Structures are given as C-alpha cells and as structure tokens.
Structure 1
Amino acid sequence: MTREEIHEKVADVLVQALGVSRAEIKPETSLVGDLEAESIDFLDIIFRLEKTFGIEVARGELFPQEMLRDPQLVQGGKLTEAGVAALRDRFNFTDLSQLTVGQNVEELVNDLLTVRTIVDYVESKLRLASSATV
C-alpha cells in the first residue's frame, strides 16, 4: 500500500469518526486543534484504524495522554528531558526533531497529533507486519 493510499484511508477514518469534511484533512491538520477531537474520539479512531488496516494499536501507542500526565515526563505543564526522550522513543515512527525540553504540553498535543503522524504510524505498522510475514 502506498503512502498516498494510506493517507486516503486515514482521511476516510477521520471523516467517519469525527464527522468532519474531507477537505479539512491535510497532512498538517491537528486532530485536537483543527478537528476538535476529544479523548472519546481517539477510541473510535483507533477502532476504525484497526479495522481498516488490519493492525493492532496498543493502548497509549498512538495517543500519549497517559504519558503526558506522568510527573517524571511533564512538570508544570512542560516537557522534561525524560519526557522528550520518552516521546521520541514512543513515536520513533515519525520525526520529532523539533521536540524540546520545556515545550508546553498543550501546544505539543496540537503539533504531535496530526494526520501526518497517524499516516506515519500506520505506514510503520504495515511495514513491520509485512516484514514479519516474509
């Protein structure tokens, strides 16, 4: 499956889960900031991604809400050095080079949870699945 095909299917998932217009969905679109997704929506998105792509999304693997409540990773609403390292490790499927110590977590959620991030995630899961079956 090409990256473009993955993007199209991710867009379909988001249209169905969030009731948004297809025109609103671009790679840089923020799920929270632009599409106003909430915690309950993330469950629906995960369910639909699993069904659409035949993948399993482990709890917290794509949406890091629990990590961002960990006092070792976030202090005073800002990322710690350990938080940056943990997020880069968890999200090793996408580019987090812009992540910095002291970054505001609320802004980070908008920047991190984008359509591009979901496409990167699905692409990495499909790549792992195909290499496991070879």
Structure 2
Amino acid sequence: MIARASAEHAETITEIEQACFGADAWSAPQVTDEIGRPTRTVLVATVDGDVVGYASVLVVAGTAELVRIAVVPARRRRGVATRLMDAVLQVAHDAGADEVLLEAAADNDAALALYGRHGFTRTTVRRGYYHGGKDAVMMRHRTVPERTV
C-alpha cells in the first residue's frame, strides 16, 4: 500500500536511509524536514503494516523531480519500487507537471533499469557527481496529461 508520509514515519524513513545510502544517508532532522516541506510529497510503501520503502518528489513550476526513492534491501525485487514509481508519476501528473527529472548513480544498474521500465530516458551524465567520483546519469520522463475531451 502507498500512502503519504507523516511525521510518525520519520524514524523508519531514517532507518531506511541508513540501510540504503550509508554515508550518504539523510539524517533524522533532514528526513523530518523533507516530510514537512510544502513543495514535497513524501510517500511510504507498506507491506503487512510495515514501512518498507519511500519516495520523495518535488513539484515546482510544471516540473517534478524524484528527490529520493529507497526500499529496504530485504524487500527488494518484490514490486515495491515499481509501486512507488507509479505513485510518483501520478503525483507529478496530478500536480500538472510536464516532466519528471531524476539522477542516479551510473553504476546503479537496478535503479537505471527501474527508471527505464517507467519511461525515463537518459539526458546527460554528470561526471564525478557523487562521493568517490561516481558519475550521475540524469534522466527525464515526459508526463502526458489525460484528455478531458
């Protein structure tokens, strides 16, 4: 199940950050700030009542950005990230965004494949963007508004 995150999810999201991003993880105050920002929609994915993943999307001036998406390692490859991505694209669409942007580590094959399956295309590479000099792949998805006629 996908739902909007609230302050009560901050501790669990912080734990997911640590499990997924290690040294690059957001701190508890950063997670709390992210949940509380009016320009953000933070979503949580639950399985059997447990939060097992989350995503944060920023929508401003017709453009959405997938800020973060993560699924606890033990729950990967079970469709959680797919459900979160579907929800992110719906949030962007509902907010009237024309496009969704994101970046991913060039060596993160699983993430790049997920984004590709959701219609994202590579736009450019930012050399040395991440710690340790890792490159970032920039990607874009053009949203298609529903026809009302």
**TM-score normalised to the size of structure 1?**
0.29
- Richer in helix (by share): 1
- Richer in strand (by share): 2
**TM-score normalised to the size of structure 2?**
0.27
